[in-house]
Copies of this chain bind each other. A is one copy, B any other.
């Protein structure tokens, strides 16, 4: 076992991220005790049944008692309410972090409730799957993924370093970033792509000339990756769009402009424009593979159970 970084960790919310954190911290021996709370009695029951954390409490206030690290792992729309509820029960010197996909709105909602002497260090692990709930976590979720921290004025460097050490030991790479910049970057790399995928899947669902079974049968041709994205947790994503409204609307506007230019090229038969555009986007993919964020394995259109092999 490794070195204990926090004697007691409280996880508020017991979904994919909190569950994976518990399993990763336990595996590496990073916490003395892991306490958990979820608002739903069903989630608490499942977490208890599978032993996801060391102890389950009925209230968030109880969970944070004497905790050295408190992780807010709830949809971003309820971060403020949870912060208000736990604030009177926080131990002086404790660190509060969150794992929300939006940072400015969470900081605005949570900061006012944090008492003096408690460190608030907003965070966002860029890790996840299309599954959610207490059974969806696994210890290796964060391995080789980025975990962005957006410290606010007054985040004590020693407290930030301690949290970063915990995160690194769970396998992730830590990077600090300004909250506004975070929200713009994520609008491009995550939020808008999710909205677009949701939209495309919705279009397919509405088309009466194509049966649902045809859409499903022939999904391997490109659509499949969209449906995977569009299967993500509806509550989490509703809140992300509402809480990162400005950046998402900005990027959506640019997306629509760009799409109209390509649409016009198709209508006009401007093959040279299309070919140039597709050649440039191909180069970006190469950059991602070189940066180690994906493999060059020909996954597209294939299933994980049948890794392709030269033969």
Contact = CB atoms under 8 A, between A and B. Distances in A.
Contacts of A192: 200, 203
A161 interface: no
A157 interface: no
User: What DSSP secondary structure best describes chain A's contact surface?
Assistant: helix
Given A189-B222, A215-B284, A308-B129, A234 B278 contact: yes
Interface of A: 23, 27, 77, 126-131, 136, 138-141, 143-146, 148, 181, 184-186, 188-207, 209-210, 212-232, 234-235, 237-239, 241-242, 245, 248-249, 251-252, 254-256, 258-259, 262-263, 266-267, 269, 271, 274-275, 277-282, 284-288, 291, 293-311
Contact of A305 (B196, B286, B295): B295
Query: How many copies of this kind of chain does the complex include?
Result: 2
Contacts of A235: 275
Contacts of A186: 218, 221
A310 B77 CA distance: 29
Given A226-B193, A287-B216, A309-B138, A259 B256 contact: yes
B249 A138 contact: no
Contacts of A309: 138, 140
A126 B220 contact: yes
